[in-house]
Amino acid sequence: MTMPRRFLLAGLLLAVLPPQASAGIGCDPLGYPEGAQVVVVADNLLFNGVPMANWELRWRESPERLRAFYRSGWEARGDRVVETEFGGWKTVATRDGECFYTVQTKAAAGGTYALIGVTRPPANAVQAQPGAGFPMLSGSKVVNDLQHKDKIRNARTLLLANSFSIDANASFYRNAMSGQGWAPTFDRAVRTERGESHVLIWKRGAEEASMTIGNGLLGSSVAVNFVDRP
């Protein structure tokens, strides 16, 4: 009788992370060695259209033993393991179906510090487009698009750059956000150490959107943060 892959993985790795550590993006949980201290950083992120989960791990044993722990488990189930080294970090990685797992390790006081990540391809082409669904001026470039979902609240942070002035951006977003049902609660020019900027805040039901428009390399930078149930 052949056991399902997810149960084989759990048996090989002795223990499994709480399901939310990677199941939030549709991937099987990843195991960790006995005695390891694990902190979930994010269990359901969408970074520039790519679903991912991340966590930190600390262990009393060496980085070499931690990499061997994952390598042996992955190889035992027939998966190809890739190893790389860059900037003082040594990494082991593998693919399981559509999910890609990476374990980055380095020596730390008392043992090992590791950054573990899981990513998978976007479910559809629209999701894969950074900035999808957000209004923007012609020629705007999406620098980052980070979405986070958990059981308490959902959040999305966008960073854009364009060649338009601060005032032109503010005027555009007053109209665009209003057209999407957002009600303004704050709209004011603010002077900072980096020069003039403009801050706008809107509410829509339980949602809140805050935007800061300032000077950027292309002309203006637009940073906006969406939160529901704030």
Q: Is the pLDDT of residue 1 over 60?
A: no
Stretch 177-202: mean pLDDT? 90
Band (4; pLDDT cuts 50, 70, 90): very low
The lowest-confidence range among 34-38, 95-99, 106-110, 174-178 is: 95-99
Stretch 211-220: mean pLDDT? 90
Stretch 29-35: mean pLDDT? 87
pLDDT of residue 213: 95
End-to-end CA distance of the chain: 50
28, 92 contact by CB (below 8 A)? no
pTM of the model: 0.57
The structure tokens listed for 87 are 């900037």
Q: Give the other-Cβ count within 10 Å of 189's Cβ.
A: 12
Average pLDDT taken over every residue of the chain? 82
Stretch 107-135: mean pLDDT? 81
pLDDT of residue 107: 94
Question: Which CATH superfamily includes the segment(s) 141-228?
Answer: Mog1/PsbP, alpha/beta/alpha sandwich (3.40.1000.10)
Q: Where in the chain is the domain with CATH 3.40.1000.10?
A: 141-228
User: Could you report the per-residue pLDDT of 166-181, keeping only the tens digit for each?
Assistant: 999 999 999 999 989 8
pLDDT of residue 230: 54
pLDDT of residue 97: 85
